[in-house]
Structure 1
Amino acid sequence: MIPNLDWLRHAVCAGMDQRAFFATGRHARAQVFAAKRVCDACPVREQCREWAIESGERWGVWGGMSQDELRKKRRRFTSRAKAGTRPAPKKREPAKCGTRPGYQKHLREKTPVCGPCRQANTDADNRLRRTGTSKVLAP
């Protein structure tokens, strides 16, 4: 999908040298300040800013905002967008006896450790020593 960029024709910077909006060198801070002053008088400043945030523009001054300001806004924008699309967390099943998590549950809840849990923990420890992982590897 091609974005609608008709607003660019009305931008104050449309006829200017674009290098003025991409600060480099020793005088970068002064260049950013000068570019922001140009943006202050621009009638399409909001559209420019929104476009820079949504498109992920990483360099230059857009809509009167520096790279750092845009980065902060983008973080807020993306975190809000992700907040609405987060899936519901899966319910965890309780640890079953005869497994290492079952053994750990006994310890956590300070209940007597049953024989199958003790054996599962011993097996996991031995596997860890032999293979470097306590996970059961598929054959």
Structure 2
Amino acid sequence: VSGRDYYFETPASFATKHYLEHVTYSGNQYGSSREGLAAAWERSPLISIVLDTAGAITYARELGEQAVVIYLEVADQEALIQRLTKRGDLPSRIKKRVASDEYLRDQALPVGLVGHAHVIVNDDWQATRRQLDELVTEYCQHDVVTKD
């Protein structure tokens, strides 16, 4: 939903923002504008952003400990393609995506995130959800302790 899950921009409005990071991925533009981040942090001290590995490296470098990077990997790439199909992506878009340099790059944790990212294998949603809940709980408790 635009304005809640993402901020959808036109090419013209995209060019007016100030980006912490941005990328063209599989023919589409994505980015984290400083304006969008500020608006999100006004609503909550804990926000979630989906990034490619290049964006995650930028977050880790620019925001340091303020950025908690979670690298989700899928052991079976065919399962990932099935997920994209199930959510309704067109076969031509899936083929273009999995052939892109960005997709291939993102299949392994880059050196720039080693020691910074929490790696979770996302093959079983219930197990993944449990690990994510534990991680968020840990950081929420840490945030309360450091503010007191």
Asked if Structure 1 and Structure 2 have the same fold, meaning a TM-score greater than 0.5 normalized by the shorter chain, the answer is no
| Structure with more relative contact order (C-alpha pairs < 8 Å, separation 6 or more) | 2
Larger Rg: 1
Q: Write 1 or 2 for the structure with the bigger share of strand.
A: 2
| TM interval, short-chain normalised | under 0.3
